[in-house]
Chain A
Amino acid sequence: MIHQFSYMAPTELDDLLALLDTTKGGFKLLAGGTDLLVNIRNGLLKPDLVIDVKRIAGAGAITYDVEKGLQLGWATTINDIISSTEIAKHYPLLQACACDLASYQVRNRATVVGNIVNASPCSDMAPALLCLDASILVATATTRKTIPIQKFFTGVKQTVLQPREMVVGITIPSHTKDSKGVYRKLKRIQGHDLGIVGVAVAMVEGRLRIAVSSAAPTPVITDDLPLDVSAPDALYAVERIINPISDIRCTKEYRRFMVSEFTKRLIQEVRA
């Protein structure tokens, strides 16, 4: 990296949170680094201090409990998600989204928390988390709170997180476990690519949910729909939440078209 910064790697969560509180000057948290280090290299970010969050016990945790649901640590990687048998069994939509994220090497480093904190409109993990009612655990040195994922994203690459707050975990509740869900991502090539559009359709607790990435300033989700919702009604619900733009990857017309086409197809697929 050309921009110079210092590095710290606390070994206790309390020390890490204390650092957030006391550090003067710009700092960034380093989990997988697959967004942070790219942005530092490009000159978009110039922190004075980078704090590694991975050397603390529990950082990469995946805990499943029949009552409590699924708990993910703040540094659980995408490949950790893919190789978890519990997630395969109980939250397959999470794995479906994870499989489409970047390349294998990137998935060994990229974290779920990092993906949502980065808050790209193209986030691959957000559609699953939205469908599955995830809660984001946010901590400071002195506080803990839980934010529902639907309230987490506020704009392009923006979240509700305040400067000295840190996401310390993600909970996916037990009441969304064993939900069937499918995800489809449109790319420019078969190989790894950012999503041109991404659609997840899930059947959760007797309701149908459709989440979309890359078609609005944030990842978005429809209100709950009846399981037997008609295609036109489903498309109408999706139309209301998206606001695609034209950019160098795609025009808004094709984005709009593909969101609705994926919606139609995935609804059929998830019902089959």
Chain B
Amino acid sequence: MKIQVTVNGIAYEKDVAEHRTLLHFLRDDLGLTGTKEGCGAGECGACTVYFNGKTVNSCMVLAVEANGGTIETIEGEAQDGVLSRLQDAFDRHHAVQCGFCTAGMIMSARELIHHTPHPTVKEIQDGLEGNFCRCTGYEQIIEAILDATGGYREKEDLVYVREQ
């Protein structure tokens, strides 16, 4: 089936198998490999993208459903090579380790901030519930989002035990 879809502001017209997922369409047909597959079953959130203004697990959306629609992925987050405020906050707060969850995490973070401009720690935790990270333990991600929304209070990374 031929579909027309706008991704990160660019219009595409492509022939796609009707049973193909949006995730595979983005990664394999459009070469936008920033969005990742972590489970293929809508649990881990690594494939989170914006679809018609809402964050979804793209592994559980058919490409044909996006016909006539608008998609935003991680590749569209930075503008002209300049990191977005959120990306910059992630960088400064060491919210990235292996990086595999990062694209989906940024999408969900952006969505969270969109409907809750000054989220509390609890609201951030609830908003990111559908994005697994195995590396960071989430704390620095939460701090990055607090920083990007003006809610971060400076704290020391570590308590040092000065002895001997």
Interface, chain A (partner B; CB < 8 A): 1-7, 9, 30, 33-34, 37-38, 40-41, 50, 52, 54, 79, 102-106, 108-109, 191-192
- The minimal Cβ–Cβ distance linking B3 to chain A, given in whole angstroms, is 10
* Closest CB in chain A relative to B137 CB, distance in Å: 13
B56 / chain A contacts, CB cutoff of 8 Å: 105, 108-109
Residues of chain B contacted by A41 (CB below 8 angstroms): 40-41
- Assess the A1–B21 pair: CB atoms within 8 A: yes
B1 at the interface (CB under 8 A from A): yes
Which residues of B approach A to under 8 Å, CB–CB?
A: 1, 17-21, 40-42, 45, 48, 54-57, 60-62, 64-65, 67, 108, 111-112, 126-127, 129-130
Q: For the complex, what is the distance from the CA of A9 to the CA of B67, rounded to whole Å? A: 10
- Do A7 and B60 touch across chains, with their CB atoms under 8 A apart? no
Contact B19 A1 (CB under 8 A): yes
Known: A1-B19, A7-B18. A37 touches B60 (CB 8 A): yes
A104 to B119, CA, bound (A): 15
Asked whether, in the complex, the Cβ of B111 is within 8 Å of the Cβ of A104, the reply is yes
Is the pair A104, B18 in contact by a Cβ cutoff of 8 Å? no
Q: How far is the CB of A166 from chain B (nearest CB, A)?
A: 18
Contact B62 A106 (CB under 8 A): no
Expressed in whole angstroms, the minimum distance between the Cβ of B134 and any Cβ of chain A is: 13
B130 contacts which of A3, A38, A50, A103 (Cβ < 8 Å)? A103
The answer to whether B42 and A1 touch across the interface, beta carbons within 8 angstroms, is no
| Residue in B closest to A42 when the chains form the complex, CB atoms | B41
**Complex contact B108–A38 (CB within 8 A):** no
Contact A105 B62 (CB under 8 A): no
Shortest A57–chain B CB gap in Å is 15
For this complex, 18 residue pairs linking A to B, each with C-beta atoms less than 8 Å apart, are A1-B20, A5-B18, A7-B1, A7-B19, A7-B62, A9-B65, A33-B62, A34-B60, A37-B61, A41-B40, A52-B65, A104-B108, A104-B112, A105-B45, A105-B130, A106-B42, A108-B54, A191-B129
